[in-house]
Structure 1
């Protein structure tokens, strides 16, 4: 069967050989055996074709005046076609006759002549192995040919990923992920993270390898490797990174303010992998679930609810979270005292020798007393100096009368009755209704101040649960003397060049000299501020 199938092919080869050489039996060439006229030439230039895998490509080959010359397609040493006959057994190949070309009009009739021709090569379902050079050859005495180069574009495909599915690592370990891909052109590989940026803060990282030096809880997530070369859709693979680490505890509020008979909620935010067990303590006593104490968990939010708060419920609480990798603790202080005072008065006063100060606190019971401290602002005042005052002056100093002795400048202190005190001068007066979260405002006017001077002030508030924390420093400045009143107008006009004029000038200078202390105070104010 195979020998019978080769007979037509061998026959075609013989015909092609005879037509090219002119004769098969006689090696000598006779001028009458050579086709007459001008030898044909190629109309189609050689080109490069970039075709996607699976597509169809047509390689053109057109010549002028083919005459009896044979046009053949070759790839390497393999002959694909000879004239209109397909020699290759590949069913994807097909020979297509090229259209004739129009020659210029003849000098006799003025009618264009149709001549030329050729054969194009069609290749269907292009595959990567089809890439290479395709030669269209004309069988002249010295063969002429054109070369078409076929580049097959192959979509990017990831053929290797270092990890598959989910990967677990311990905190602090290094993570190295690798992703390799193939395709034509060579694809580029990039890394992204689902719904998040990369641990380095970048949106994506280019390269076959991605390294995370020290894994932590912020490293966990789904990472995506993408390969793209512009042909078709990018190819992607996913890697899930799960980092195992001991609990990390954050408290929602370090101090929780409440009132007697109310409900208080203490909240800890716990991060852990695997999930941590969380226990609640008051001082060193573990709390269980009772009618008064209840716990709740939502995600990584752990809440301790204390119902009907009693005086003995005040104090230090802690949440202790633990898993197989370690343990951590968060501290919360439950108090019935008022919140820290917030000042809402303007920083610039309207009077020269007094200032109306206003502030507010949140308290679940009536404020019975305020303690106010004020002094002139020290020179070279800084946050560092303020911190030292917080830790030393107000902690260790003793109030002696109305001044804190031994400080420069001296702090002046005073106690002010709060609205929660029943005024004996007004029978039937009562404090506002309590308990409940209430914003309690207070005003007080400080007397006997110096004009154009900056002062600093702090306040404490006391309710039935005791004193709250001392407020941050608030600064205010008293009004300066009016500048237009510093110089009095002269009663008589100045006359220059006479004794009378000199006397008038001295009269004008005298009011200025008497007001020098006021002028100096204004200058000091602007230098300080």
Structure 2
């Protein structure tokens, strides 16, 4: 014998039924925790045994009925009841969002209500909001570098900073949304990468350009060469922005006159093109070509120069061995001369002493 009580619940959709079969409906477990990745389809499980004529309904975190038995009763088409087996009343949520997270209830209209709670956590992958994060930066030596990396996600992502060196990611041991480097130098320049991570990761690269005045350096300050030969002068220039570069002899710019005598070549020597070599080739050296040559560089932040002396190798060349020999002969002659003077001095002293002694003996003999 069945006894049915009609009680209006859940907006009039449910009828509370009591079936006297000796066994009441049961749900698999009181609480289940489910984690989903935003954008995926998530399944909230609910297994009901001995349902009989009772009804199953899914309730949202905001206490809104989503389904009745296997039918959706909401305008949101993302909710669907899935029943791979007769006792399963799983709720599928398609394209799940962070706003879908919360406490869902699978209920059977018994008295009292039989209910199961499913706690849904939605993982939102880490994402860097590039529009409000730092773009490429240009600053001068001595200024302070500020880089910002705005990351969202759930749970809140952690942010770490790296610097790319020759294609390798180098950990600079800085973390947080903001990177601050005071008093930057030219070595600070490069590409920096922020990485946001909360189980999923996102990254963004930012190029840092540091500007500075030119620095001129020469491999040698003195170069010797013979008349009629060719010599090459190399000058290394480090500058950013790029500088005006040229060689001078006296006050004459060698970039334009006498192209046959002088030839300049410019070479780049690093990735960011801040280091260059300005080479000056001087052909068929003549006497008036010897002298000081100045490498000069100038940009908007300053200037620098350095000078090398080109001298006649034949005139300035002296054999070290001949220098040593002359010094040795000088010392020997000096020693011989000194010894000779000493011998003469000693002889004169001896002869004088003998004469005085002889005179003394003669005087004594006369007296006695």
1:216 aligns with 2:185: yes
Aligned pairs (5 A) from 1:153-164 = 153-159=123-129, 164=134
1:294 to 241, 263, 269: 263
Alignment gaps of 5+ in structure 2: 1-7, 269-275, 335-368
The aligned counterpart of 1:36 is 21
Aligned pairs (5 A) from 1:467-482 = none
Q: Is the 8 A contact 2:133 2:150 kept in 1?
A: no
TM-score normalised according to structure 2 size: 0.74
Aligned length: 315
CA distance in 1, matches of 2:249, 2:322: 31
CA distance in 1, matches of 2:235, 2:139: 26
| Deviation, structure 1 residue 370 | 2.5
The aligned counterpart of 1:47 is 32
| Deviation, structure 1 residue 83 | 2.3
Relative distance call for 1:212 and 1:19 in structure 2 (3 A) is same
| Deviation, structure 1 residue 11 | 9.8
SS in 1 for 2:22: coil
| Deviation, structure 1 residue 91 | 0.8
1:322 to 298, 301, 305: 298
Relative distance call for 1:237 and 1:368 in structure 2 (3 A) is closer
1:253 aligns with 2:187: no
CA distance in 2, matches of 1:289, 1:192: 50
Relative distance call for 1:295 and 1:180 in structure 2 (3 A) is same
| Deviation, structure 1 residue 160 | 5.4
Q: Is the 8 A contact 2:60 2:104 kept in 1?
A: yes
CA distance in 1, matches of 2:161, 2:13: 61
| Deviation, structure 1 residue 68 | 2.5
1:226 to 169, 185, 195: 195
CA distance in 2, matches of 1:196, 1:212: 21
CA distance in 2, matches of 1:214, 1:400: 62
The aligned counterpart of 2:101 is 131
2:76 to 70, 82, 90: 90
| Deviation, structure 1 residue 305 | 1.1
| Deviation, structure 1 residue 236 | 3.0
1:99 aligns with 2:85: yes
The aligned counterpart of 1:331 is 307
Q: Is the 8 A contact 1:164 1:238 kept in 2?
A: no
Q: Is the 8 A contact 1:62 1:98 kept in 2?
A: no
The aligned counterpart of 2:12 is 14
| Deviation, structure 1 residue 372 | 6.1
| Deviation, structure 1 residue 74 | 0.6
> Which structure has greater strand proportion?
2
Aligned pairs (5 A) from 1:482-493 = none
Q: Is the 8 A contact 2:60 2:105 kept in 1?
A: yes
The aligned counterpart of 1:303 is 279
Relative distance call for 1:202 and 1:237 in structure 2 (3 A) is closer
Q: Is the 8 A contact 1:44 1:60 kept in 2?
A: no
CA distance in 1, matches of 2:221, 2:156: 57
The aligned counterpart of 1:277 is 244
Q: Is the 8 A contact 2:222 2:311 kept in 1?
A: yes
1:352-388: CA deviation from partner (whole Å, max 9, x where unpaired): xxxxxxxxxxxx99976624659xxxxxxxxxxxxxx
SS in 2 for 1:270: strand
CA distance in 2, matches of 1:148, 1:79: 15
| Deviation, structure 1 residue 13 | 4.4
| Deviation, structure 1 residue 207 | 2.1
Relative distance call for 1:166 and 1:158 in structure 2 (3 A) is same
Relative distance call for 1:212 and 1:371 in structure 2 (3 A) is farther
Relative distance call for 1:197 and 1:60 in structure 2 (3 A) is closer
SS in 2 for 1:37: coil
